[in-house]
Amino acid sequence: MSGGLDSSVTAWKLAREGRPVVGLSMLLWDHSGTEAHGRCCGALDLGDARRVAQQAGIPHYTLRMDREFRDKVVDPFVDDYLAGRTPSPCVRCNTWIKFDLLLERARRLGATRVATGHYARILQGPDGPELHTAVDTGKDQSYYLFELTGEQLAASLFPLGELTKAQVREIAREAGLVVAEKGESMEVCFVSGGVREFVEAEAAARLPGAVSPEPAVLVDARGEELGTGQPYYRYTVGQRRGLGLAAPSPLYVLQIEPERNRVVVGEESELMAPGLRGERLHWIGPQRTGEVEATVKIRSRHPGVPALIRPQGDGRVEVDFAEPQRGITPGQAAVFYQGTRVLGGCWIAGRSDGSDRSVR
């Protein structure tokens, strides 16, 4: 129970169905100096979770998991930016915290399943539980759950998967829940200011001297120097604003080269790629070694593109798109769908067109 609308309605629904329910909240990050809602680990939101548990008539406990959260989510988040990648901390939180460590803690309390407010569905298939998209496609969160295993799905419940957000809010209103009019939570719950400022502060505290504030050299795809800008870790692939370069047509970030403190920029057409290279390939259910046709989403709100998935062994994979796609971003997830079913996914390492745009 994060103290948000969705997890609150989840707890309320299960309690009203007569199931034995215990509300668990996680203290993941110290937001004691930030008095604001929308932080899934902030004091105000944990207070809301306790009040909803009282309304639902269920016991509520707060589990301190800040050390594990730092190890599994926050430090890798910072490391990714310093390595020139754009991380997806919500996927890591689901993989390592909510459906691993939290599930383990819940079992210690005698629970057999963990229910969350995710908008996704678990359906029984011939090879076991399958992950599917939510009925409310505008709120679907299956992308962030692609690393779950069949065993984790079997121990999970997503009671909101068949509902729309409007229906969920109406349930909260009818029940009189204190969070009925609460807005959406923040995208990165542990960052209260700017992401880049957070990365700099964390890196300075954990890795003193390892991060250079030197401006990055901005070059084109041929290696010609165009100017200097901010430190390289302040850029992301596809970025247009803030480059500070005068050019006849808009320029975008094509690639980040931390080891050379360089950022490669180019025109929008140069962002297009016919495929991607992936690593840490994961399948939900039976492992697949042959080629697979699927729809691939390269960002959470990407509409998806038909593609051919070609496993290469050792967790590596090549993905060939039916049509070139814009902004293949290292550090983001590529998730594979067949219809509403999530087959699995991988982490994007780079483009797979034989031109990763490394500049000589």
Catalytic residue ranges = 93, 189
CA separation for the pair 254, 353 (Å, rounded): 14
SS3 state of residue 142 = helix
Angle between helix axes 5-16 and 43-56 (nearest 10 degrees) is: 20
Asked if 325 and 272 count as a contact pair (C-beta separation under 8 A), the reply is yes
Nearest one of 321, 347, 302 to 140, comparing CA atoms: 302
Angle between helix axes 165-175 and 5-16 (nearest 10 degrees) is: 60
Block residue for tokens 């046709």: 293
SS3 state of residue 78 = helix
Q: Residue 318 has which token pair?
A: 């090549």
Quick one: the chain helix, strand, coil %, rounded to 5? 30, 30, 45
CA separation for the pair 273, 288 (Å, rounded): 25
